[in-house]
Amino acid sequence: MNSLNYIQKCRSPSYRIFCLPHAGGSSSHFNKWRKSLPENVEIISIQLAGRENRLAEIAHTEMQPLVSEIVEAIKPLTSIDYMIYGQSMGTLVAFELTLELQRQGQRLPQRLLLASRMAPHCIDPKPVISHLSDAQFISQLHNRYGGMSEVIATPDLAQLVLPALRADIRLVENYKYTDNTMVDVPIVFFSGTNDNSLTADNTYAWSQMTSSYFNIRRLSGGHFFNLKGQHDLLSYINDLVSEPEPVSNDVFDIGLIYA
C-alpha cells in the first residue's frame, strides 16, 4: 500500500501540504499544483484505495477506517508546519483526519483548507444514489456537479472509474457527524461562484466547526472551479505558506458574498 504521492518533493522542506481529492478523484488530480508553490513547499497528495497505483485494492465506504489509514501514513511527516486541503468529499475526510490527529495529541495543521462541500452537521437534501444503475448513477452525478461528460461518452473509462466513484459516494452517504467536537485549527473555505450545491447557510456553517478563526474565499467557476478559479486558489495558498501563524478572523458579510 502506497497512499502518499509526492507531487512536489523537497530535499529539505520547510512546509508541507497534504491534499485529499473529490469523490472518484485520484492523487494525480493535484499534478497541476507542481511548481505552482515555492520550492521549499512539499506537496503530498493522498492516494485513496481503488484507483491508479492502488487500483487492485477495495475502496473504503466508511470514514473511520479511511481516516485511520491516512493518520498512520502522514504522522511521521507532521514534524514541520503543514496544511491539509480537501476538495468536495475530501473536505469531510480532511476534517475527520484533523479531528483524529487532535484526539491523538499530534501536531495539528496550521490551517485546514476546504472546498466545495457543505459543513458536516448540515442535512444534505440530495437523495441517496450509490445503489443506482451505472447509467442512472452517472446521470445523477452529472446533474449535481457536472464534469461527467467524458465518463458518459467513454464506456471503457466509466468501467475503470465507477467502482471507486461509487464507493466514495457511498462513503459520503454513510458518513454522520456525531462527535460534536470542533477542530482547534483555522478553517479557510473555498466555494465556486456557480456551485449550486452550496448556500450561504451551509457554507457559513463551517464556522461552527472550528474554535479558531474562519474565512471564506469565493473562486470563479462551479463545483471544481474554472481555470481562473484554480489559478486564484493556488495564488491564495501561495500567500498562506508565506504568512506567519494566522492571527484573526477576516471580516465579511456572508449575505453580500452570496448576493
Please compute the mean of the pLDDT values over residues 50-68 and round it to a whole number: 96
pLDDT of 171-210, one tens digit each?
A: 999 999 988 899 999 999 999 999 988 999 999 999 999 9
Site of grid cell 514534524: 79
Angle at 234 (CA atoms; ends 61, 160), nearest 5 degrees: 35
More confident call, 2 vs 98: 98
Nearest to 26, CA basis, from 9, 57, 49, 1: 49
Site of grid cell 497505483: 53
Q: How confident is the model at residue 256 (pLDDT cuts 50, 70, 90)?
A: very low
CA distance linking residue 130 with residue 165, whole number of Å: 9
* DSSP-H helix ranges across the chain: 63-74, 89-103, 134-145, 149-153, 155-174, 200-204, 227-241, 254-257
CA distance linking residue 244 with residue 173, whole number of Å: 37
Q: Is 225 helix (H, G, I), strand (E, B) or coil?
A: coil
Assess contact for 120 and 130: CB atoms under 8 A: no
Q: What is the pLDDT of residue 244?
A: 55
Across all residues in the chain, what is the average pLDDT?
A: 90
Please compute the mean of the pLDDT values over residues 6-26 and round it to a whole number: 94
Q: What is the pLDDT of residue 150?
A: 65
Q: Is 248 helix (H, G, I), strand (E, B) or coil?
A: coil
- Phi/psi for 34 (5° steps) reads -60, 130
pLDDT of 30-41, one tens digit each?
A: 999 998 999 999
Assess contact for 211 and 182: CB atoms under 8 A: yes
Q: What is the pLDDT of residue 253?
A: 40
More confident call, 142 vs 243: 142
CA distance linking residue 149 with residue 136, whole number of Å: 14
Nearest to 25, CA basis, from 192, 190, 147, 155: 147
Task: Give 4-124+179-257's CATH code, choosing from 3.40.50.970, 3.40.190.10, 3.40.1160.10, 3.40.50.1820.
Answer: 3.40.50.1820
pLDDT of 226-242, one tens digit each?
A: 899 999 999 999 999 88
Residue 42 in this model has a pLDDT that exceeds 70: yes
Site of grid cell 498562506: 240
The percentage of residues in the chain with a pLDDT greater than 70, rounded to a whole number, is: 91
Assess contact for 171 and 66: CB atoms under 8 A: yes
DSSP state letter for 79: S
CA distance linking residue 212 with residue 21, whole number of Å: 24
More confident call, 139 vs 164: 164
Q: How confident is the model at residue 255 (pLDDT cuts 50, 70, 90)?
A: very low
**Hey, where are the domains in the chain?**
4-124+179-257
Assess contact for 209 and 183: CB atoms under 8 A: yes
